[in-house]
Structure 1
Amino acid sequence: MAILIFFLAHWYLSLFVQTFYLHRYSAHKMFTMNAFWEKAFYLLTYMAQGSSFLSPRAYAILHRMHHAFSDTEKDPHSPHFSNNAFTMMWKTKEIYNDVHKNRVEPERRFDGDYPVWPALERIGDSYYSRVGWGVAYVLFYIAFATQWWMFLLLPFHFLMGPVHGAIVNWSGHKYGYQNFDNNDRSKNSLFFDFLTGGELFQNNHHKLPNRVNFGVKWWEVDPTYPVIWTLDKLSIIKLKPVKEKVKNRTKAAA
């Protein structure tokens, strides 16, 4: 039971910071927050992702590239130019490292307006931090695992952030239905996205990239949106007004 609770807690906490902080805040700036809360959520992102910590800067740049080049050869993670999810993840890792290590200069339109905390970023990206978090996960399993097969979950902990990204980008551009014709192959994979916190409404998001609620139809449930709505009401964040019309040529469910 302890292992199951730990796995689910890590899965959903890491998922939350990825969709809330890295995606909707760092990449899209769908809402604003003051300097204190920006640092607080930055720290939470590091702690939640642990060994798979992703730089908000590099994440934002790659995600903006993904929108600009969706499902073309320039897309950092389109499943339609990779043989499987693993080769797609490796391609994304290479591009991410080039951006993160400043080996390439991103286009000006993709750069800037994202949170930066150099000291924490150096810690999060360090060998000592990544290995340290990994050792902590292993020690927890040694202490609480009751069956051998539970240790097979450890690779998910080690690569939690990239695993979430792989699920979203592979499934969200291959499987499901389309509400909008976006001139790409983005799909909505689930009606209630309990698995990735709303991220699998890729077709909706590519049509309305600044809409904070990824669900568009009344029956599409984005479970992260109520959390964001609550944080806005508590004045922890401030949602930006969005002037986007949902009306568009739609496509039937597939």
Structure 2
Amino acid sequence: MSNFTEKVCFFLTWVFQGSNYLSAYGYGVMHRMHHAYVDTEKDPHSPKYDSNLFSMMWRTKSIYQDINNNRIELDTKFTKNTPQWAKFDNFASSTTSRVIWGLLYTLFFYFFATAWWQWLFLPVAFLMAPIHGVIINWFGHIVGYTNFQVNNTSKNLLPFDFLMMGEGYHNNHHKYSHRANFGGIRWYEIDPTFYIMIFLNSIGIIQLKKRAIAIKS
């Protein structure tokens, strides 16, 4: 995408993730490390090397912060062409930004919640990023089925992945990590995000590489 469109996406990420904002750079580098070191001691998040999901997510958080704050040396294969807008990341990831979003969430519930049990969803709003991380990085390596024998524990969480917008096809993704379509191996494996990308590609907002939309290679 163009530099302007990339910056618009940074801003929209902040708007829609709010207090859960994740840096595209930090997350992108960490994701590349996960694929390079999957299910080894160097993996930023692996159920094989953490006793429980809380310790895994704490280690993930620590590595993510080390990447964003330049506290660890990184191989250029992890950082090359990874989107980065450091000034905006610093603002969107700041305590001030997260607290303001938290107050806005609380005010929303205060004015619109109509029953006590609805307030139980407020902590979910605060913790959406770690909850998503647990679903994919913990359960996505423990629960589900496999289409491919790979050298890691990745699983496809659901035959029809409407909850994670296709990201739950984790086994498929680890087999063909370059593909934009995480589904498509079996007829019922539909990746909604892939079709959104196809649409954005068709109107020129993004440009998908041919290799990314290839069926298998």
Bin of the TM-score, shorter chain as denominator length: over 0.9
TM-score with structure 1 setting the length: 0.81
State the alpha-carbon separation in 2 of the partners of residues 99 and 172 from structure 1: 23
Tell me which residue corresponds to 1:239. 208
Tell me which residue corresponds to 2:112. 144
Unaligned runs of 5+ in 2: none
Residues 1:145 and 1:110: Cα distance change in structure 2 (over 3 Å) = same
Moved more, 57-66 or 101-110: 101-110
Contact 1:65-1:76 at 8 Å conserved across structures: yes
State the alpha-carbon separation in 2 of the partners of residues 71 and 245 from structure 1: 26
Tell me which residue corresponds to 1:202. 170
2:88 is matched by which residue type in structure 1?
L
State the alpha-carbon separation in 1 of the partners of residues 88 and 124 from structure 2: 23
Tell me which residue corresponds to 1:28. none
* 1:132-211 → structure 2 map (5 Å cutoff): 132-211=100-179
Percent identity over the alignment?
A: 49
2:196 is matched by which residue type in structure 1?
V
RMSD: 1.5
Deviation at 1:64, TM superposition (A): 0.5
Contact 1:71-1:80 at 8 Å conserved across structures: yes
Deviation at 1:83, TM superposition (A): 2.3
1:76 is matched by which residue type in structure 2?
P
Tell me which residue corresponds to 2:195. 226
Tell me which residue corresponds to 1:110. 78
- Provide, for residues 203-223 of structure 1, a one-character-per-residue CA deviation record: whole Å limited to 9, x for no partner: 110110111110122221111
Which residue, out of 26, 32, 40, partners 1:64? Answer: 32
Contact 2:160-2:190 at 8 Å conserved across structures: yes
2:132 is matched by which residue type in structure 1?
H
Dislocated runs of 4+, deviation >3 Å? 243-247
Unaligned runs of 5+ in 1: 1-32, 248-254
Q: How many residues align?
A: 215
- Provide, for residues 3-52 of structure 1, a one-character-per-residue CA deviation record: whole Å limited to 9, x for no partner: xxxxxxxxxxxxxxxxxxxxxxxxxxxxxx11221111111111111111
Contact 1:45-1:53 at 8 Å conserved across structures: yes
Which residue, out of 85, 89, 97, partners 2:57? Answer: 89
Quick check: 1:99 aligned with 2:67? Answer: yes
Quick check: 1:44 aligned with 2:15? Answer: no
State the alpha-carbon separation in 2 of the partners of residues 213 and 84 from structure 1: 30
1:229 is matched by which residue type in structure 2?
I
TM-score with structure 2 setting the length: 0.94
State the alpha-carbon separation in 2 of the partners of residues 61 and 116 from structure 1: 10
Contact 1:171-1:200 at 8 Å conserved across structures: no
Which residue, out of 48, 55, 67, partners 1:80? Answer: 48
2:116 is matched by which residue type in structure 1?
W
2:108 is matched by which residue type in structure 1?
F
1:136 is matched by which residue type in structure 2?
L
State the alpha-carbon separation in 2 of the partners of residues 117 and 69 from structure 1: 26
